[in-house]
Amino acid sequence: MAIRKLLLPLTGTAAGEAALSTALTIARGWNAHVLALHVRVDSRDVAPLAGEGLSGAMIEEMMSATEKESSERAHAVRSMFDRFVMQHDVILTEARPGADCATASFAAVTGREEDLVAQQARLADLTVVPHPDAGEDVSSSDALHAVLFDSGRPVLVSPRTAPKAIGTRVCLGWNGTAESASAVLAALPWLQRAEAVRILSAGGYQRRGPAAPELAAYLALHGVSADIVMFQPINGVVGAGMLAAARDFGCDLLAMGAYSHSRLRQLILGGVTRHVLENSALPVMMNR
């Protein structure tokens, strides 16, 4: 299946330009459309605070401040988008069938980001999420987790520095779970076009399910030749070992399942998903 529509949630400008560049690189490779979506905070969401002992005047002042901040952020995001597409000669248009070049459009809506992003992602082939701003915990990204848990579609986390190429050398993080199987399915269009494919597995990463050689045989049926590397954890950290193995391969796209353990467990104890998200300097495509 070809990639024809990308969704790009933009909530701020700090990492937004790198994500725009990442999305545009993908769109140009597939002649796809990028829908940049900004979700504005609804100032009415502060109204329930009236039950917390705050006066009507205080609530009204909070709503006014929220609306002002929301408007300023929306203006900054739109300005960044307009400046970017002008500098890179991107055609602004709505998505249309049979386009022979990359196109883009911008939409701003008001509401709960996690709800609206997940809904829009259900009719996108891929959602590109900006890397969280410096100092922000990646596990708190509303857009990222909305897509992972409530869209049924893959999400690609853009690195802080946009890559020059995506999908020429692809790594698959494989542990035999349903999540990693979903990642393989989403990655198939990339795998069939890649110059080289490598399966990354490890004894401490594998769960109950098919092992890496079985995955390699399955991919061969789809015309994909993949080699296998059994990587070693670094200082006991599986995610660090996987990223090191990806770097050794010259990987420019890592596809893997997300949260095969519960998200709560990973938040408390850490895990492969969290480590990769927080430490990867390359595009990471995840499925759950």
Return the DSSP state at 256.
Answer: E
pLDDT for 47 beyond 70 = no
CATH class of 169-287: alpha beta
The pLDDT value given to residue 242 = 95
Residues 25-34 have a mean pLDDT of 95
Q: CB within 8 A of 233, min separation 6: which ones? A: 202, 204, 240, 241
pLDDT tens figures, 205-226: 888 899 999 999 999 999 999 9
Q: Is 51 helix (H, G, I), strand (E, B) or coil?
A: helix
179 half-sphere exposure, CB direction, 13 A CA radius: 23
Supply the angle between the helices 142-150 and 113-121 in degrees, to the nearest 10.
50
Return the DSSP state at 44.
Answer: G
Q: What are phi and psi of 106, to 5 degrees?
A: -125, 140
Q: Which of 33-37, 43-47, 55-59, 72-76 has the highest mean pLDDT?
A: 33-37
The pLDDT value given to residue 127 = 96
Residues 269-286 have a mean pLDDT of 84
pLDDT for 135 beyond 70 = no
Tell me if 5-43+72-157 shares its fold with 169-287: yes
Q: Record the tokens describing residue 257, joined without a space.
A: 């399942």
The pLDDT value given to residue 265 = 44
Q: CB within 8 A of 271, min separation 6: which ones? A: 239, 259, 261, 265
The total of other beta-carbon atoms located within 10 Å of residue 237's CB is 17
Buried b (16+ CB within 10 A) or exposed e, 71-87: eebbeebeebbeebbee
Q: Record the tokens describing residue 244, joined without a space.
A: 């090191």
Domain ranges for the chain, please list them: 5-43+72-157, 169-287
The pLDDT value given to residue 134 = 42
pLDDT band at 137 (very low <50, low <70, confident <90, very high): very low
pLDDT band at 204 (very low <50, low <70, confident <90, very high): confident
Return the DSSP state at 282.
Answer: S
Q: What is the CATH number of domain 5-43+72-157?
A: 3.40.50.620
The pLDDT value given to residue 72 = 85
- Residue written as token pair 């401490």: 204
- Which spans in the chain are helix H? 16-30, 56-87, 113-121, 142-150, 178-191, 212-221, 238-249, 263-269, 272-279
Residues 273-287 have a mean pLDDT of 90
pLDDT tens figures, 77-98: 999 999 999 999 999 988 777 7
**Euclidean distance between CA atoms 154 and 1, whole angstroms:** 13
pLDDT tens figures, 151-187: 999 999 999 898 989 999 999 999 999 999 999 999 9
Q: Is 105 helix (H, G, I), strand (E, B) or coil?
A: strand
- Cβ atoms of residues 80 and 17 within 8 Å: yes
pLDDT tens figures, 222-255: 999 999 999 999 998 999 999 999 999 999 999 9
pLDDT band at 140 (very low <50, low <70, confident <90, very high): very low
